[in-house]
Structure 1
Amino acid sequence: MYNLLLTLLLIDCVLIIIAVLMQPSKTNDAMSALTGGADDLFAKQKPRGFEAFMQKVTLVLGILFFALALGLAWLSSH
């Protein structure tokens, strides 16, 4: 059981890395990186399409990572 959870955790780690790298960039130019994006403070829009999907995938993978890590910690202590 421990080996199964560890394998699932490693697969989840790789999938989280891929999901984060596939998310579209939010900075448009170097100036917005220097100012911290203060000009976009009031221009927030809900993500649509691929960006919204990738945010949901990342959230689900993060929750799965947390659950698997807790399961592994509990299993190793018993």
Structure 2
Amino acid sequence: MGIALKIVLALVSVILTISILLQSSNSAGMSGSIGGGAEQLFGKRKSQGYDAILSKVSTVTAVLFIVLSLILVAIE
């Protein structure tokens, strides 16, 4: 049981890492802090496609990662 959970935890952590790395950046550096004030004030509509899917995948895998980690600590 413990070995299977460790394998699932490893897969979830790889998926979490990949989904976070594939997401687009929210900031544009110094130019974003100067020129991006209007977007932040009035809101910028988040894309409904690729970024939304990656955001949901990241959220689900992060929750799975935490739950599996706690289960493994409780078992061992």
CA distance in 2, matches of 1:43, 1:15: 30
Two-structure CA RMSD over aligned residues (Å)? 2.1
> Stretches of 4+ moved more than 6 A in 1?
none
2:58 pairs with 1:58: yes
CA distance in 1, matches of 2:35, 2:15: 28
Identity among equivalent positions (%) equals: 30
> Mapping of 1:16-27 within 5 angstroms?
16-27=16-27
TM-score (normalizing by structure 1): 0.79
Unaligned runs of 5+ in 1: none
Instruction: Report deviation, 1:47.
Output: 3.4
Structure 2 unaligned blocks of 5 or more: none
In the alignment, the residues of structure 2 paired with residue 11 and residue 64 of structure 1 have an alpha-carbon distance, to the nearest angstrom, of: 11
Residues matched between the structures, number: 74
Q: Aligned AA for 1:60?
A: V
Letter in 1 for 2:67: A
